[in-house]
């Protein structure tokens, strides 16, 4: 097996595997909601690596597939509720795109529970906590995705070799 195909991308804490979930959160509502959960000292799994974007409408499909192809076990997209987007209709694009993205990634062999889209307002720290807790449990039950290896085994992709990405 090539060296680059064996690298471990998920986390291990105390020898126990835990998933890596990439969370794209819009700045105005969902990121503030996550912040509210932290400020209120709510306890939830620390498995989500948060990437702050200005609007959930900014999250194009390539960002999601790139996260999976770079080793994420799950991807979460959160934005303002419909009617609350600070760019008026950015989340209308999100609402239209997410079901399509779900179909595409399922077609690529990624289980549905590995991808989640939620509306989380700045005041919904509790909801953010519940979403992260539930998603982490579901992705943990599925186990590591290791999509780069999966694609490599199928004869496509570059495994964990990041040279094609310029790294
Ligand atoms: S600013 Fe939050 S979804 Fe557009």
Characterize 52-76 residue by residue with b for buried, 16 or more Cβ atoms within 10 angstroms of its Cβ, and e for exposed.
ebebbbbbeeebbbebbbbbbbbbb
Protein residue with least CA distance to atom 2, ligand 1: 80
In 3D space, the residue among 58, 162, 62, 159 whose CA is nearest the CA of residue 104 turns out to be: 62
In a domain, 158, yes or no: no
Residues 119-166 have pLDDT tens digits of: 999 999 999 999 999 999 999 999 999 887 777 777 766 655 656 556
147 φ, ψ (degrees, to nearest 5)? -60, -40
In a domain, 50, yes or no: yes
**Residue 12 structure tokens:** 């291990």
Residues with Cβ < 8 Å from 83, sequence gap 6 or more? none
Q: Is the CB of 33 under 6 A from ligand 1?
A: no
| Domain at 49, CATH number | 3.40.50
Point out the ligand 1 atom lying closest to the alpha carbon of residue 54: 1
List the domain range (segments joined by +) for residue 147. Answer: 3-10+19-153
pTM assigned to the model: 0.86
Residues 3-59 have pLDDT tens digits of: 333 334 456 667 789 999 999 999 999 999 999 999 999 999 999 999 999 999 999
């Amino acid at each position: 097996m090539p060296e680059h195909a064996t690298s471990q991308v998920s986390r291990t804490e105390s020898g126990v595997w835990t998933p890596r979930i990439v969370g794209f959160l819009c700045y105005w509502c969902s990121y503030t909601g996550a912040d509210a959960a932290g400020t209120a000292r709510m306890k939830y799994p620390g498995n989500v690596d948060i990437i702050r974007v200005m609007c959930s409408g900014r999250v194009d499909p390539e960002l999601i597939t790139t996260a999976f192809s770079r080793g994420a076990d799950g991807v979460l997209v959160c934005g303002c509720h419909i009617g609350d987007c600070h760019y008026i209709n950015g989340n209308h694009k999100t609402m239209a795109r997410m079901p399509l993205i779900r179909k595409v990634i399922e077609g690529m062999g990624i289980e549905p529970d590995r991808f989640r889209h939620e509306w989380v307002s700045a005041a919904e720290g509790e909801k953010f906590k519940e979403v992260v807790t539930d998603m982490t449990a579901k992705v943990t039950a599925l186990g590591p995705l290791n999509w780069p290896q999966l694609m490599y085994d199928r004869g496509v992709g570059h495994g964990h070799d990041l040279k094609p990405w310029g790294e």
